[in-house]
Structures are given as C-alpha cells and as structure tokens.
C-alpha cells in the first residue's frame, strides 16, 4: 500500500536554480573532468567562506579525512583520538591507514568530544595505560592526531580541545562535515584544526551531489593533498610515482553545483535555524525533551534538528516510538549515530569516558530538517508528534 501523503524527508537537497547554469558551462566548454574552472573557483570560494586560504575539492568528506590523516603522517599502529558519537565516516579513514582509533566520550552540552576525557585519553596513551576493550594493554605512544566533530552542526568545545591539543603538541583534523557555516565567537567551524574537512554529500546543508573538501592555511599542504588525490604523480614528464596515491578529486561538473549552492548557503542556514526554533517552540510544552544550546559564543547551522526524549518524563514514550510514529505518517526521522565504541566494527577499540554518548544516542531523534520545509509539512510533523506525546 502506498501512503497518499507526500514523503517528508530528513534532509533532502535544496537547489538554488542556478546550478544548471554552471553545469551547462562545464558541458559547453567540455570540462567534463575531475579538474577545471569550476573546481578552481569552488575551492577558492569555499576556503574564503570558511576563512582559510586554501582548499582541495575532493570526491567526498571521507576521502578528505583519509587524505588529512595521510598528510599528518598517520602510519600503521599509530593512535588516533576520535569522537565516539559520530558518523562512521569520521573513523573509517583511521582504519584505512592501519591505525588504532581511540574513542572518546561526549559532554552533555554540545554532545561532542569531552575535552576532559580527551586529555585523559592522551595521558593514558602516552603513559602506556590505555587498554583495548578486551583488556590488553597498548604500548605507550603519543597519539598522532585528534578528530573532533561538530555533530549535527553544533560546534564542539573546540577552543578547549585546541588548547589541550596544543599543550601536548598533537595536530587536530577537524571534522566539520556537518557544520559549514557554524561558528564560535564569529570564527567558522573548519578553521580551528591544523586541517579540516567539509562534506557536500546529498543530505548536507549544501551539496555537490557527492563531494568534500580538505582545508588548510598552508598552500604547500593543500598542493600536496591535491597531488595525493590524483595518484601522487611526481613532477616529471613521465608517469613516475614515489608514493601511494588515490583518485579522490572532485569532478568539474559537480563543482559547478557547489558554486551555485554556496551562493545560497547563508539563506539555508537561516532556514534550518528557523526549523529548529519551530521545534523548540513546539516542545516547550513538554518536559524531558532537550537539545544542544548555543552557549559561549557558539552558533550552530542547525543542519539537523536533533532532540533527546526522556521516556521517564514522557509517560514512557521513547525515541523508538517517536521515530516509528513519524515513519508511519511518511515522515522520515532517524536515531542518532550509534557511538563508534558500541559498533561491532570497533568492538576491541580503546574507549575513554563514561556513558554520555551512549545515553544521548539512546534518547536521540533527528527530525525533518530540510531547508525547504513549509508550514503544511510542519503541521503534519507536529500533529503526529502531538498524537504520540499526548497518549
Ligand atoms: C557526512 C559526514 C562525513 C563524510 O562525508 P561524505 O562526504 O559523506 O563522505 C564525515 N563526518 C561526518 C560527521 C559526517 O556527517
């Protein structure tokens, strides 16, 4: 049976209308290649927006994280600290490098990496007291990199994280995949790390269909990233190669979509933030429903409107019941990302912290957050939520 109601998606692409023009440019000039004028212009525009000097446009955010770890010289057996509550794409590249992820708990204000737990992880790793989940000890080693995430657009306590990372002299690979346009004290997410990553996947705040970028203030670093992402060819007339390369560059056709999308990014942020305010107003009548708050100069792009539901304060209604009720009304809602230290893939990985990530995950629901949601959509979402929350 088909549901007669139009599907309300979690976070669908939202075109500006100008994308086709840039795509036509690529076709008319026959730049149907993983390079070209759209890529160059998109790289400049994205670096400029984030407030850095250089960007490499790549095939995905995951590819950007992989190249980022390569640039930080992450080798097999190295330790890389990573936020546990995140999308698996933050952590998979650690495995691509043969390194060991050290997962760290969240704090309850932003749901992102807890700076205290992070410092504990650095100390344990350096002292040789860090353990795999099966109890086996990991030989003393200073972590090679730290991957904090700005989950669902909400900035992490990145200044605290950076101060600790600086103290121990460990570089930060900032996963800003979700948080294009978010900021702390006016400084954009993606500009705090030694290297940073943005994603333009189809469900992100702006999209190139699929794509990502690696950013840095160092020209030579980004030039090297572009080289690694195009099979690491040596400077030579011949096809000569001295190191392992990848085929990770962004297509000039897709970069055209990105150029048009960037022109409406600030509008998309306004629209997503307005969605969040509507949910906040609606949930004000209910106890036990919480989200992250913008404190200490933080501004979230509110990529996904995400809330935790405490069944003890909601007559037993839990996140699963909410998701099921919405899905039944043809409204897409999703659980939070299951923390990495609870994943079968990472079952033996070391973990530092308590159970904040786990509790947040259990209670969390991502609600429809698209920038084209209209009043009718919200009427449907709220009437469904009302029915389940009032029973
Ligand atoms: C989307 C996402 C990525 C990966 O981006 P892709 O472009 O899909 O490869 C990485 N980290 C986080 C937190 C993400 O949400």
| φ, ψ of residue 252 in degrees (nearest 5) | -65, -25
Q: How far is the CA of 73 from the centre of ligand 1 (A)?
A: 21
pLDDT band, residue 373 (cuts 50/70/90): very high
Euclidean distance between CA atoms 131 and 226, whole angstroms: 36
Strands of the sheet with 187-188, listed across from one edge:
187-188, 183-184, 298-299
Atom of ligand 1 nearest to the CA of 178: 15
Atom of ligand 1 nearest to the CA of 210: 7
CB 101 within 8 A of CB 343: no
Q: Encoding tokens for residue 344? A: 């079968």
**Mutation test residue for ligand 1: of 113, 173, 201, the one with most atoms within 8 Å of CB:** 201
Residue listed under structure tokens 């008319």: 28
pLDDT in tens, 236-247: 888 999 999 999
What is the pLDDT, as a whole number, of residue 33?
81
Q: How far is the CA of 308 from the centre of ligand 1 (A)?
A: 22
Give yes or no for residue 285 having a pLDDT over 90: no
Atom of ligand 1 nearest to the CA of 64: 9
Q: Encoding tokens for residue 130? A: 């860090």
For the chain, the average pLDDT equals 96
Terminal-to-terminal C-alpha distance of the chain: 27
Q: Whose CA is nearest to atom 4 of ligand 1?
A: 61
What is the pLDDT, as a whole number, of residue 300?
98
Q: Which residues pair with 366 in a beta bridge?
A: 306, 334
Fold of 265-389: 3.90.1150
Q: Name 314's Cβ contacts closer than 8 Å, sequence gap at least 6.
A: 286, 287, 288, 289, 389
Tell me the CA distances in angstroms from 230 to 42, 72, 92, 264, 363, one per residue in order.
Answer: 18, 18, 21, 30, 42
Q: Let me know the angle formed at the C-alpha of 83 by 299 and 308, rounded to the nearest 5 degrees.
A: 60
Q: How many CB atoms lie within 10 A of CB 177?
A: 31
Q: How far is the CA of 320 from the centre of ligand 1 (A)?
A: 24
pLDDT above 70 as % of the chain: 99
Please write down the long-range contacts of 92-97, taking CB distance under 8 Å and 24 or more positions apart.
Answer: 92/62, 93/62, 93/65, 93/66, 93/68, 93/69, 94/69, 94/147, 96/66, 96/69, 97/66, 97/69, 97/70
| φ, ψ of residue 130 in degrees (nearest 5) | -70, 140
Q: How far is the CA of 177 from the centre of ligand 1 (A)?
A: 5
CB 65 within 8 A of CB 89: yes
**Mutation test residue for ligand 1: of 178, 179, 214, 334, the one with most atoms within 8 Å of CB:** 178
pLDDT in tens, 6-60: 999 999 999 999 999 999 999 999 998 888 999 999 999 999 999 999 999 999 9
CB 140 within 8 A of CB 127: yes
Q: Whose CA is nearest to atom 2 of ligand 1?
A: 177
Residue listed under structure tokens 């730290």: 146
Q: How many CB atoms lie within 10 A of CB 139?
A: 9
Task: Over range 331-340, report the average pLDDT.
Answer: 98
Q: How far is the CA of 198 from the centre of ligand 1 (A)?
A: 8
- The domain segmentation of the chain, as residue ranges, is 19-262, 265-389
Q: How far is the CA of 369 from the centre of ligand 1 (A)?
A: 17
pLDDT in tens, 289-325: 999 999 999 999 999 999 999 999 999 999 999 999 9
Q: Which DSSP string corresponds to 332-346?
A: --EEPPPPGGGSGGG
Task: Over range 331-351, report the average pLDDT.
Answer: 98
Fold of 19-262: 3.40.640
Give yes or no for residue 144 having a pLDDT over 70: yes
Give yes or no for residue 121 having a pLDDT over 70: yes
Q: How far is the CA of 342 from the centre of ligand 1 (A)?
A: 19
**Mutation test residue for ligand 1: of 63, 151, 199, the one with most atoms within 8 Å of CB:** 199
Task: Over range 115-130, report the average pLDDT.
Answer: 98
Atom of ligand 1 nearest to the CA of 204: 1
What is the pLDDT, as a whole number, of residue 3?
60
Q: How far is the CA of 57 from the centre of ligand 1 (A)?
A: 14
CB-based pocket (< 6 A), ligand 1: 60-62, 86-87, 89-90, 149, 175, 177-178, 199, 201, 212
Q: Whose CA is nearest to atom 8 of ligand 1?
A: 201
Q: How far is the CA of 148 from the centre of ligand 1 (A)?
A: 13
Q: How far is the CA of 211 from the centre of ligand 1 (A)?
A: 9
What is the pLDDT, as a whole number, of residue 35?
85
Euclidean distance between CA atoms 247 and 335, whole angstroms: 33
Q: Name 144's Cβ contacts closer than 8 Å, sequence gap at least 6.
A: 72, 73, 74, 75, 78, 79, 80, 99, 170, 171
Give yes or no for residue 4 having a pLDDT over 90: no
Give yes or no for residue 1 having a pLDDT over 60: no
Give yes or no for residue 391 having a pLDDT over 70: no
Its pTM surpasses 0.95: yes
Atom of ligand 1 nearest to the CA of 151: 13
């Amino acid at each position: 049976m088909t549901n007669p109601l139009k599907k309300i998606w979690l976070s669908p692409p939202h075109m500006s209308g100008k994308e086709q023009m840039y795509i036509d440019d690529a076709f008319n000039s026959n730049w149907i290649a993983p390079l070209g004028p759209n890529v160059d212009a998109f790289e400049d525009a994205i670096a400029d927006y984030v407030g850095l000097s250089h960007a490499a446009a790549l095939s995905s955010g995951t590819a950007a994280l992989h190249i980022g770890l390569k640039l930080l010289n992450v080798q097999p057996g190295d330790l890389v600290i990573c936020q546990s509550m995140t999308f698996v794409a933050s952590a998979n590249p650690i495995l691509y490098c043969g390194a060991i992820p050290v997962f760290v708990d969240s704090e309850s204000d932003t749901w992102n990496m807890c700076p205290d737990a992070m410092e504990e992880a650095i100390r344990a790793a350096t002292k040789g007291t860090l353990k795999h989940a099966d109890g086996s000890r990991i030989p003393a080693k200073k972590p090679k990199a730290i991957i904090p995430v700005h989950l669902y657009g909400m900035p992490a306590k990145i200044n605290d994280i950076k101060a600790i990372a600086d103290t121990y002299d460990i570089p930060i690979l900032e996963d800003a995949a979700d948080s294009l346009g978010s900021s702390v004290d006016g400084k954009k997410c993606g500009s705090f790390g030694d290297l940073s990553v943005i994603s333009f996947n189809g469900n992100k705040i702006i999209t190139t269909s699929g794509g990502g970028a690696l950013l840095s203030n160092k020209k030579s670093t980004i030039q090297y990233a572009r080289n690694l992402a195009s099979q690491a060819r040596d400077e030579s007339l011949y096809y000569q190669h001295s190191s392992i390369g990848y085929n990770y560059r962004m297509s000039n056709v897709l970069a055209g979509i990105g150029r048009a999308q960037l022109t409406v990014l600030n509008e998309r942020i306004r629209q997503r933030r307005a969605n969040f305010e509507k949910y906040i107003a609606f949930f004000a009548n209910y106890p036990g429903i919480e989200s992250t708050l913008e404190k200490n100069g933080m501004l979230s792009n509110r990529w996904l409107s995400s809330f935790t539901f405490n069944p003890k304060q909601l007559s037993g209604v839990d996140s699963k019941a909410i998701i099921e009720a919405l899905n039944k009304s043809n409204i897409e809602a999703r659980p939070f990302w299951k923390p990495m230290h609870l994943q079968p893939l990472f079952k033996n990985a070391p973990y530092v912290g308590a159970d904040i990530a786990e509790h947040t995950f259990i209670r969390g629901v991502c609600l429809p957050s698209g920038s084209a949601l209209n009043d009718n959509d919200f009427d449907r979402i709220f009437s469904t939520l009302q029915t389940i929350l009032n029973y």
